[in-house]
Structure 1
């Protein structure tokens, strides 16, 4: 199983596999057809409060990431996403942020990877 990250504004590709939008809000200007989302799992996104705080203070990425990981520890939607990932060979987590290196989807992906059990070859 592979987990990839991609901006929802980028064109869909068959190599994306199962496409999961992990934003709480639908991305502006993107139609449902163009987004080609298989699942919108908004409950796995940062809380509205945390998202708003981060947008007002984007220089505190590490603080945001730590608080988001704490939210994920208590979030039942994480189990749903983990099950989706387990059942499919390729899952692409879609996000709307402009920066591909600094966004909540990257924190989410790292969090999920740290919780996956190691598999023997």
Structure 2
């Protein structure tokens, strides 16, 4: 499978290909020597405002549906990067999208939403 999703703390597998960290913030306290990704694309992660709204910082937390809708809107500005990743997958390269170790529900995670956007871009 050329497009994969994982938590960044999951050890790399030989067939992971290009491992991309898609978190807005780099994991705290992790030395560069222990990074498990090849490249960090912070703009593919949810904005700080969206994260705060989802986590309920200073407000009532937004629903998963609202989070999904807002994240997809934010990613409209990243169409070019998403198209580039889709092209890599089309060429047979494996791309593994990595996010927070705290994201344990893959269906509700932005890495899954981004994978859907990449797959949709492949269909075009």
Q: For the superposition of Structure 1 and Structure 2, which TM-score range results when normalised by the shorter chain? A: 0.7 to 0.9
TM-score (norm 2): 0.79
- 1:73 counterpart (76, 94, 99): 76
Aligned counterpart, 1:107 = 113
Aligned counterpart, 2:12 = 12
Partner-residue secondary structure (3-state), 1:68: helix
CA contact (8 A) 2:89 2:95 kept: yes
Matches within 5 A, 1:81-92: 81-86=85-90, 89-92=93-96
| C-alpha distance in 1 between matches for 2:68 and 2:75 | 10
| C-alpha distance in 2 between matches for 1:88 and 1:23 | 24
**Structure 2: 5+ residue stretches without partners:** none
CA contact (8 A) 1:45 1:104 kept: yes
Aligned counterpart, 1:49 = 49
**Offset at 1:85?**
4.0
1:26 aligns with 2:32: no
CA contact (8 A) 1:11 1:34 kept: no
**Offset at 1:14?**
1.6
Partner-residue secondary structure (3-state), 2:27: coil
| C-alpha distance in 1 between matches for 2:88 and 2:21 | 12
CA contact (8 A) 1:19 1:38 kept: yes
> Structure 2 vs 1, CA of residues 117 and 62 (structure 1 numbering), >3 Å: closer, same or farther?
same
Q: RMSD of the TM alignment (CA)?
A: 2.2
